[in-house]
Amino acid sequence: MNQQPQQPQLPPEYYQRLEEIQAIDFILIELNLYLDTHPNDQEAINQFNETVKKSIKLKMKFDIDFGLLINFGRGFTDCSWEWNDTPWPWQV
């Protein structure tokens, strides 16, 4: 790792919104693994579907405000190819 240029300062809102997404997605990851071994738990399935809606909503807004989280088939890029843009996850 050679010395990296300093990252531009990110607004506090970036961290807050990212953590909101991380928290929602944690619920999804946890329910995902649980449902792999408990595929008939209707309550967990309902919670999964409800949480998916929340996650999609947060991410679509994040994509618009801070750049694409996924480069494949969910968000739209603006006039420059914003997937190239920093920060990458280890830079924040």
Query: Contact residues for another protein (CB under 8 A)?
Result: 1-4, 18-19, 21-22, 25-26, 29-30, 32-34, 36-38, 67-72, 88-90
Write down the least CB distance from residue 72 to another protein, Å. 5
Distance CA 24, CA 58 (A): 9
CA angle 88, 89, 91 (to 5 degrees): 70
Residues 6+ apart with CB under 8 A from 25: 55
CB of 40 to another protein, least distance (A): 12
Minimal distance, residue 36 CB to another protein, in Å: 4
